């Protein structure tokens, strides 16, 4: 039986096309730097999405529900909760979509 040392096997990152030891790549063959960049991009885009949803919700509450001054704290809490929950859901969706598309980075040159 022939055993291959896993440390010696080289693989190419599916995102940046850099050759790295297979041990440093995840199951979709992305290196840690590419995963971190994708997560950071998903975080920033998710906050924008959450903010837009919170503004739309606040406008809907202000224009159609027309809350009384007595319960304004509850409505503000609802908008803040919508901002947080929407940003968390959007973060996971954006990150998953980026991972599943798995297109190579623009300008990435495969090793020779």
The answer to whether the CB of 6 falls within 8 A of the CB of 16 is no
Exposed/middle/buried for 105, CB within 10 Å: 0-12, 13-18, 19+?
A: middle
The pLDDT of residue 3 is 46
Q: What is the mean pLDDT of residues 64-71?
A: 84
Q: What is the mean pLDDT of residues 60-89?
A: 91
Q: What is the mean pLDDT of residues 26-54?
A: 92
Return the domain boundaries, the chain.
10-101
The pLDDT of residue 82 is 96
């Amino acid at each position: 039986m022939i055993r291959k040392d896993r440390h010696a096997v080289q693989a190419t990152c599916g995102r940046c096309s850099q050759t790295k030891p297979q041990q440093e790549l995840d199951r979709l063959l992305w290196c840690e730097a590419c995963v971190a960049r994708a997560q950071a991009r998903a975080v920033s885009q998710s906050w924008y999405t959450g903010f837009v949803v919170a503004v739309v919700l606040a406008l809907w509450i202000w224009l159609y529900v027309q809350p009384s001054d007595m319960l304004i704290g509850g409505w503000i809490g609802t908008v803040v909760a919508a901002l947080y929950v929407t940003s968390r859901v959007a973060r996971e969706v954006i990150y998953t979509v980026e991972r599943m598309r798995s297109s190579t980075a623009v300008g990435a040159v495969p090793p020779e």
